[in-house]
Amino acid sequence: MATSPPAPDPAPLLAGPATPRRGLLPAAGVSASAYLLFGLQLAGWGHGLLALSLLGALLVSREIAKDLLLIGLGITIISTTSVKADVDWDRFFAIGTALLLAVAVPLLVDRLLLRRRTIRFPWLSGRRWNRWQWGYIIAVPVLGWLLLPFYFITSGAYLNWPHITDAGALGRFLVGVNFVGTWDELFFICTCFVLLRRHFGLWPANLLQAIIFVSFLWELGYQEWGPLLTAPFALLQGWLFTRTGSLLYVLIVHLLFDVIVFLAIVHAHNPGAIPIFLI
């Protein structure tokens, strides 16, 4: 029996006027600013490049300038605090507040000042999931189970997360992992990726959002050779959102992966406490 075709890419429905090819330069500058801010921790250089890129976008077209400004607002808000993994109460609320504002402020500017509905959160596409979508949902935690403990333990990256010994901190860690995973999809996919797709093809837009995504995850703790895992994941999430048109789908994929992240980090800090991994 024939399967339903994939949901249409939601981004072209929001497309503005055709963007000149030179628009890629300021867009790349905005993404590179995230690398400077989160990956290299160079605040002055990062904010300077972001401002220069937004000015360059204005010289290309007003539409791309508006969209890059929204992305830049989110990046700037995130850069106001360290997002290095920490479950102490003060950092728990500081990071959470910054991440919430990084989604809310661009959304409100889009709605109230620009009078648009460019940033949206399409939970369902109206189509039933097909076999490959169900298969991928099953495959994600299996791949995470195979790869994540090996990555965290052999690279030592698990040390970028605190060694948690009490139940309260463990609960905050679990909540934090799921909160950040949800936020990733709201900001990197439904905000950055969708805004970039209004001006560029799938893969240029996907690469640009992945640079921001991976840079953030680097500061969070996915260091050493972590980008070899986080970069393909970021690209897959953008591609999956394009194929399914469903935030719910990419969010389920992400949170299933993050459950294994949580278990793998706890296992790395406490060998033998969760005896389900191969290493």
Q: Does 212 reside within a domain? A: yes
Which pLDDT belongs to residue 2? 43
Asked if the structure places residue 169 within a domain, the reply is yes
pLDDT of 201-236, one tens digit each? 999 999 999 999 999 999 999 999 999 999 999 999
Chain segment 138-190, per-residue pLDDT in tens: 999 999 999 999 999 999 999 999 998 888 999 999 999 999 999 999 999 99
Residue 232 within a domain:
yes
Burial of 225 (0-12, 13-18, 19+ CB in 10 A): exposed
Q: Does residue 142 form part of some domain? A: yes
Of 256, 219, 270, 266, which is closest to residue 41 (Cα–Cα)?
219
Percentage of residues of the chain with pLDDT beyond 90: 87
- C-alpha 105/C-alpha 177 separation (Å) is 22
What pLDDT score does 71 carry?
98
Is residue 256 in some structural domain? yes
Let me know if residue 278 belongs to a domain: no
Look at residue 20 and give its three-state secondary structure: coil
* Cβ–Cβ under 8 Å, residues 94 and 52: no
Name the residue with tokens 């294994």: 260
Domain residues for the domain of 146 are: 21-269
48 is a domain residue: yes
Number of folded domains that form the chain = 1
Mean pLDDT of the chain: 93
Cα–Cα distance for residue pair 252/258, rounded to 1 Å: 10
AA letter at 153: I
pLDDT digits (tens, 9 = 90+) for 8-51: 555 544 555 578 889 999 999 999 999 999 999 999 999 999 99
Q: Are 219 and 39 in contact (CB under 8 A)?
A: yes
Q: Which two tokens stand for residue 83?
A: 């997002």
Task: Return the pLDDT at 76.
Answer: 98
Residue 44: predicted pLDDT: 96
